[in-house]
Structure 1
Amino acid sequence: MSSVIKIYALFLGSALLMFGGGLQGLLLSVRGAEEGFSLLALGLIGTGWSVGFVAGSITVPLVVRKVGHIRAFSVMAAIGTITILLNLLLINDISWIILRALSGFCFAGAAMIVESWLNEVAENRSRGTIFSIYTTINMTASTLGQIAMSITGVAGYVPFVIGAISFICAVLPTALTSSPQPRPLASAKLDVWLLYRTSPVAAIAAFSVGMANGSFGTLAPVYGYQQGLDAGGIAFLFALAATLGAIAQIPFGRLSDRIDRRKVLIGLSGTAAVVGALTVLINPGAGWMMYVLFALYGFSANPIYAVAVAHANDFAKDGEFAKIAGGMLLILGIGLAIGPLVASMIMGAFSPVGLFIVTATFHGGLALFAFMRMRIRNAPAAADRAPFQPMGNDKQVTPESVALDPRADSDSDEIPDDREAPVPEELIETPEEKRDVQDGTI
């Protein structure tokens, strides 16, 4: 019973993180546009988040090894809360770019610590269920955070304060836990060459998704704002795309278990490219056609990364899943960092609809590359494929998400079984904490 309570407390902490992240990510793009930030500055805000998130994924494990999970999580949540509030106090583009990078760093660290706790309490027989519930909760909470902007609006201080409250409240489940601290955080295994040797399609897919979806996630709110949508309309637009994208993972994932996954990637990326091209040609105003096109984009573009991970895993040898998935994370992060910057320059040179030139180009390029690879390499038999596993927002996947993934079970012989070093005596402040150390509870 205590383990069940512990898991759901961690689910709650993760939901609060994702709620605040979903609200804040959408809020900054729209508020920045209202404040008159240039398209380049808005693109750099998205780039800052991605750079900070990747840096956090790489360096936070070192911080946790020194001070422990609870202290590290508290620091990440506190600094993340401070950065959100500073966004309200320092309304200028340079400050927001720097703060967004710091926010991405803290968010990566906080998410990894929650995931490491889930990874610790998850047994092999329940890992798939826990991972699926965790993914569903994250996508739902992030979408609700976006919808919340339709209630809070973007003016004034309220949306920033709500985001800060959500982020700081996420510390409570881990701060109050009495369970032993988990193993050290998983470090990203960044073997990009192994990934490309194993599956060139997966490597190209990771970069294409980063470029296209990173640009869309950062600058599509700006496009909606410049088309005349209010905060409620933009929030609903993104919630629609995110919800349909999450739903689409199930049928397309199951389809990819039965046929060559590259055919599914061609269909999804080709559809996303067509949607982008149609948006450029039609350039819809703030009417029903924009909602239709955004819904189709989310439905086709959001499942691509999860299918690509599954495709790479089909060709991976035993014990290579974490290295390959880690390589995909690095390539994805590069695309997420570059994409908004490139898209902002194209939008500035042409028009706001230039955003979809970027999405159509990279999705179309992926579809063409996957088609060419099908003529070179045969797909593995359906019986030899690892089952598809739905994944959360591709902008929020960390090395600990990879470790929690049930497909990482084959790498278990590489995961160290040692617990963290004892808490240094100078950090033990009270007799109660000394007893907790002896009992192994902190």
Structure 2
Amino acid sequence: MNLRPLLPLLVAAFIMLAGNGLQGTLIAIRGAQEGFSTGLIGFMGTAYFGGFLLGCVSITRMLSAVGHIRTFAALAAIAASGTLMLVLVIDGIAWVIIRFVMGFCFAGLFTTIESWLNAGVSNETRGRVLSIYRIIDLVAVTGAQFMLPVFGAGGFAVFAVMALMITISLVPVSLADRSSPKPPKDFHFDMKAIWALSPIACIGAVAIGATNSAFRLIGPIYAQDIGLSIASVATFMSAGIIGGAVLQYPLGVLSDLHDRRLVLILTSLGAVLAGLYLGLFAGTSPLSNYIGIFLFGAFALPLYSLSVAHANDHAEASQYVMVAAGLMFCFSVGAIIGPFVSSFIVQTYGPASLFTYTGAVHGTLILATIWRMRMRGPAPAERRGAFTMLLRTSPALARLANGKARKTGGTDGQSTNRADVAKDLNA
């Protein structure tokens, strides 16, 4: 496999993922230091995902109009400027606006990189490139957390470093071998059709967005409120991210063998129990919190990929990207709600209530899944494709993950028995 043409893009992706992974934690910690209320910090998270949603659904038009390099350069320049504005203008309302713009920019940056990667891989190398991309995500986001104890959250330095990272990412993209990849097709999606394919996948994506965004954006406030230092907050957040990576593949393999909805229930139950553990033992010792958040991440973070896999079990190969775009839309809706609601709960009832909130949402997902299991049987084993771990960076990743379509009898990767497919979808 010749990765040399893709190395500049993978380097740029590493920088982008690290910068994005650090900003959520930094905003929460620095906002608290500046005296912003937990509710206002939560609203900043809501604004970010509002901008992210807008970016996901509109960026392909920009790519078609001006191309990948110009799009990336423009968005990176705005994102770097926005990062510096955060430290130059210490004002809650200004931060909300900046975070909205940053959400739009990062959605566009990831869409640009991932559609570019997709244009540069073959079906034979697609799986390996996707695996490398996942490793880059894990290393970048986890490692970025430890920039906080190195540079501190209280000064100018950490914001300057993030702005430098975003700016430097322009270098490998500008010098990449493939300077003119074909712009991706627009991500059209029909929510009515996606709901018909799998109501529980749509419900699950909303619920998971509401809980995972709360963990990423309000989790640092929880960690500080229970007495953890800046270095310990970085370890706390990293433990949750690593937990999600450790169990994601085993849970995916299990869901390939059994009704994915049953695995979804068991995984959601694990997230409820881990949240209960954190709520009961909050602040008792750093180790107990690390164990608790590791378990929470191990069960909560894989739920999105499980939901996408379940929806794909009922979809044709030609619908995979539509499903991915629609479920990312659902995730973003939940992520818009999650930080806002959870922040006010934490502000009113204390830090332990964060995981009471996540437990309630995951519990609702369990009940909804049981209801759907009573309404429709499982997808036949022959309809279940291999589980794919997905990042929630852009719908373009679905093209990278599913570019080699599942073969169920036809040369184009689609089922040759349309009547059987229609029967299955209406079951």
Amino acid at match of 2:210: M
2: CA distance between counterparts of 1:71 and 1:214? 30
Deviation of the 1:281 alpha carbon: 3.6
1: CA distance between counterparts of 2:387 and 2:164? 36
1: CA distance between counterparts of 2:285 and 2:38? 20
Counterparts in 2 of 1:408 and 1:323: CA distance versus 1, 3 Å: farther
Counterparts in 2 of 1:378 and 1:169: CA distance versus 1, 3 Å: same
Query: Is the contact between residue 321 and residue 399 of structure 2 (CA under 8 Å) also seen in structure 1?
Result: yes
Counterparts in 2 of 1:76 and 1:129: CA distance versus 1, 3 Å: same
Gaps of 5+ in 2: 414-427
> 2:420 maps to what in 1?
none
2: CA distance between counterparts of 1:165 and 1:185? 29
1:403 aligns with 2:402: no
Amino acid at match of 2:204: A
> 1:168 maps to what in 2?
167
Counterparts in 2 of 1:188 and 1:358: CA distance versus 1, 3 Å: farther
> 2:351 maps to what in 1?
352
Alignment size in residue pairs: 410
> 1:425 maps to what in 2?
none
Q: Output the TM-score relative to the length of structure 1.
A: 0.89
> 2:201 maps to what in 1?
202
Deviation of the 1:391 alpha carbon: 1.7
Gaps of 5+ in 1: 415-442
> 1:52 maps to what in 2?
51
SS at match of 1:319: helix
> 2:252 maps to what in 1?
253
Q: Which moved more, 1:138-147 or 1:283-292?
A: 283-292
Deviation of the 1:12 alpha carbon: 0.7
Query: Is the contact between residue 50 and residue 332 of structure 2 (CA under 8 Å) also seen in structure 1?
Result: yes
SS at match of 2:405: helix
Deviation of the 1:76 alpha carbon: 0.7
Q: Which moved more, 1:352-361 or 1:42-51?
A: 352-361
2: CA distance between counterparts of 1:11 and 1:368? 40
Deviation of the 1:285 alpha carbon: 4.2
Counterparts in 2 of 1:95 and 1:188: CA distance versus 1, 3 Å: same
Deviation string for 1:376-416 (max 9, x for gaps)? 32212333311001122x3xx212112212267369989xx
> 2:95 maps to what in 1?
96
Query: Is the contact between residue 5 and residue 177 of structure 2 (CA under 8 Å) also seen in structure 1?
Result: no
Deviation string for 1:125-169 (max 9, x for gaps)? 221221221122122211111122222221211111111111111
1: CA distance between counterparts of 2:206 and 2:80? 30
Q: Counterparts of 1:229-244 in structure 2 under 5 Å?
A: 229-244=228-243
Deviation of the 1:327 alpha carbon: 1.1
Deviation of the 1:237 alpha carbon: 0.5
Deviation of the 1:57 alpha carbon: 1.3
Deviation string for 1:302-347 (max 9, x for gaps)? 1110111111101112411111111101110000001111111212
SS at match of 1:398: coil
2: CA distance between counterparts of 1:131 and 1:413? 22
2: CA distance between counterparts of 1:125 and 1:56? 30
2: CA distance between counterparts of 1:339 and 1:168? 30
SS at match of 1:37: coil
Deviation of the 1:180 alpha carbon: 4.3
1: CA distance between counterparts of 2:266 and 2:406? 30
> 2:61 maps to what in 1?
62
Q: Which moved more, 1:39-48 or 1:405-414?
A: 405-414
Query: Is the contact between residue 124 and residue 409 of structure 1 (CA under 8 Å) also seen in structure 2?
Result: no
Amino acid at match of 2:401: D
Counterparts in 2 of 1:27 and 1:332: CA distance versus 1, 3 Å: same
> 1:433 maps to what in 2?
none
Deviation of the 1:348 alpha carbon: 2.1
> 1:126 maps to what in 2?
125
Query: Is the contact between residue 402 and residue 408 of structure 1 (CA under 8 Å) also seen in structure 2?
Result: no
Q: Which moved more, 1:298-307 or 1:170-179?
A: 170-179
2: CA distance between counterparts of 1:318 and 1:406? 8
Q: Which moved more, 1:325-334 or 1:191-200?
A: 191-200
Deviation of the 1:66 alpha carbon: 2.0
Q: Counterparts of 1:183-198 in structure 2 under 5 Å?
A: 183-198=182-197
> 2:283 maps to what in 1?
284
Query: Is the contact between residue 322 and residue 408 of structure 1 (CA under 8 Å) also seen in structure 2?
Result: no
Amino acid at match of 2:118: N
2: CA distance between counterparts of 1:127 and 1:178? 18
Amino acid at match of 1:409: A
1:339 aligns with 2:335: no
Query: Is the contact between residue 190 and residue 330 of structure 1 (CA under 8 Å) also seen in structure 2?
Result: no
2: CA distance between counterparts of 1:147 and 1:127? 31
Amino acid at match of 2:152: G
SS at match of 2:375: coil
1: CA distance between counterparts of 2:349 and 2:157? 35
1: CA distance between counterparts of 2:347 and 2:28? 16
> 2:29 maps to what in 1?
30
> 1:75 maps to what in 2?
74
2: CA distance between counterparts of 1:200 and 1:58? 21
Amino acid at match of 2:241: A
Deviation string for 1:201-230 (max 9, x for gaps)? 111110110111111111010111111111
2: CA distance between counterparts of 1:407 and 1:299? 27
> 2:12 maps to what in 1?
13
1:43 aligns with 2:42: yes
